[in-house]
């Protein structure tokens, strides 16, 4: 029995590979955003710094996901707006999880709060990956017309 070639291993699970690229790109942008937030918040109000970092990091992450994670040809502000909408939904989900926690347990420990936040973030991240994969960066090729099929009348006539 021979070992699978490197090419076979890479393409056997393209969705898993895309997810790994998504996590690495998103995580990298998240870490850089965290540093930028610390630096900016020393010069401007935290709320303004956070909003600025959120917008810029979303644009950067979307472009990285387009090029690296999903290797998509789709471009333009429509892609950025759709991706931004998935970020907004993720934000609402994680905020809702924390609000629920504080309703159930008014003064949770930092550990419990972080566990809830990270769990909600992980779920939101998986959902965001799925939305980006299926909706935002999906190939938008028009369906084949009947005349384009390999056995259409035109194709058969041309072959004859």
Closest to 68 measured CA to CA, from 137, 7, 130, 124: 137
- Evaluate if residue 100 carries a pLDDT over 90: yes
pLDDT of 19? 92
pLDDT of 12? 64
The answer to whether the predicted template modeling score (pTM) of the entire model surpasses 0.75 is no
pLDDT tens across 43-56, in order?
A: 998 888 888 888 89
Q: Exposed (0-12), middle (13-18) or buried (19+): which is 160, by Cβ within 10 Å?
A: exposed
Q: How far apart are CA 135 and CA 83, in angstroms?
A: 10
- In Å, how far from its chain's centre is CA 60? 12
Q: How far apart are CA 47 and CA 55, in angstroms?
A: 12
Place of tokens 């690296």: 68
pLDDT tens across 116-142, in order?
A: 888 888 898 899 999 999 988 887 665
pLDDT of 156? 46
pLDDT of 70? 87
Sign of CA pseudo-dihedral 98, 19, 89, 91: positive
Residue 20 — very low, low, confident or very high, per pLDDT cuts 50/70/90? very high
pLDDT of 153? 54
């Amino acid at each position: 029995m021979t070992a699978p070639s490197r090419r076979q291993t890479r393409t056997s699970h393209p969705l898993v590979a895309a997810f790994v690229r998504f996590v690495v790109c998103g995580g990298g942008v998240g870490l850089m955003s965290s540093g930028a937030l610390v630096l900016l918040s020393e010069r401007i109000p935290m709320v303004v710094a956070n909003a600025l970092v959120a917008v810029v990091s979303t644009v950067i992450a979307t472009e990285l996901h387009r090029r690296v994670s999903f290797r998509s040809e789709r471009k333009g502000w429509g892609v950025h707006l759709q991706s931004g909408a998935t970020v907004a939904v993720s934000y609402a989900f994680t905020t809702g999880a924390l609000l629920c926690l504080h309703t159930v347990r008014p003064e949770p420990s930092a550990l419990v709060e972080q566990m809830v936040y990270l769990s909600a973030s992980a779920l939101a991240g998986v959902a965001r990956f799925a939305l980006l994969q299926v909706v935002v960066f999906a190939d938008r090729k028009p369906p084949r017309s009947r005349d384009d099929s390999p056995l259409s009348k035109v194709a058969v006539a041309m072959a004859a």
